[in-house]
Amino acid sequence: MADGAVRGRFAPSPSGRMHLGNLWSSLLAWLAARSQGGSMVLRLEDLDRDRCRQEYCDQVMRDLEWLGLDWDNEPVYQSRRTELYHQAFRTLEEQGLLYPCYCTRAERLAASAPHRSDGAAIYDGRCRRRTPEELAALARERAPAWRIQVDGAEIAVDDLLQGSICQRLDRDCGDFILRRSDGVYAYQLAVVVDDGEMGVTQVVRGSDLLDSTPRQVFLQRKLGLPQPVYGHVPLLLAPDGRRLAKRDRDQELGELRQRYTAPQLVGLLAHRAGLIPEYAPVTPQELVPLFSWTKLPAEDLVFSRL
């Protein structure tokens, strides 16, 4: 990759068929990269072995292709990259930043400070204060999760669409988990390691992940990885205000592909994105010269049934 070249990414979680919301963020991520002459990589975020299946991975790729969204290089599967996450974990451990946490879910909730903006409890650091004797006794009982100490870190990120966001991590998110007690590495660690290792320079994704971004930038700094540019696109909401999810079967690609052609679906989304003044069927390729961050809405969009 040439210096200064843009590299974007698709990072779907293959736990079901893609829905309209996934398609929306995929289209915008692809346009943001291609409109700058950039490349695109595909990473299947399949660390949750209970929910992810190879058939869903295959389906995601077929659906992206059907829409006219392509990528460069071979697809990357997170489930095959444990060694990379382990190395990063060791790097952080060597810096003295990690500690084992034996709290059960119930204890975590009881021991939590006020909630984060995404509703998750802020861990109060209980396990960080345990004596060596307590830790030794707990270690005989069960395997720990591992957390990273955030202390007073203050992280500000300029988002292409949402403006500047700033978090003081101890107050706004708390020490967070990097490895679960069953040994699975957490999304936050995997995504940072992968974006760094894959040379991603531009992260375009749904604004539900805006709140995770300061944690990811914190990890990038601790691991000495470059910080990509971030653009968090608005979410698509159902008419009752809920965000579209995989359980909204009628907004799932299997259903949509029976009712629309790919250019019709892309045209509907492009119109809502402000890229075309009136609805018309269009291919992603035709939208490349029309893409601009300044046209996109920043607020979530209500989508009545297509």
Instruction: Name which position in 121, 209, 223, 290 contacts ligand GLU (CB under 6 A).
Output: 209
Strands 154-159 and 163-168: antiparallel
Rg (CA), the chain: 20
- Smallest gap from residue 205 Cβ to ligand GLU (A): 4
- Count of residues interacting with ligand GLU (CB under 6 A): 7
Nearer to ligand GLU by C-beta: 281 or 293? Answer: 293
Nearer to ligand GLU by C-beta: 96 or 119? Answer: 119
Nearer to ligand GLU by C-beta: 175 or 211? Answer: 211
- Smallest gap from residue 293 Cβ to ligand GLU (A): 17
Residue 45 binds to ligand GLU (criterion: CB under 6 A)? yes
Stretch of 8-16, 85-93, 118-126, 134-142 contacting ligand GLU, by CB under 6 A: 8-16
Which 9-38 residues touch ligand GLU, going by CB under 6 A? 11-13
Which 173-192 residues touch ligand GLU, going by CB under 6 A? 191
Residue 215 binds to ligand GLU (criterion: CB under 6 A)? no
Residue 198 binds to ligand GLU (criterion: CB under 6 A)? no
* C-alpha to C-alpha distances, 145 to 3, 58, 125, nearest whole angstrom: 38, 32, 13
- Contact map string, positions 59 to 98, toward ligand GLU, x by CB under 6 A: ----------------------------------------
Nearer to ligand GLU by C-beta: 20 or 103? Answer: 20
Nearer to ligand GLU by C-beta: 47 or 238? Answer: 47
Residues near ligand GLU (CB under 6 A) are 11-13, 45, 191, 205, 209
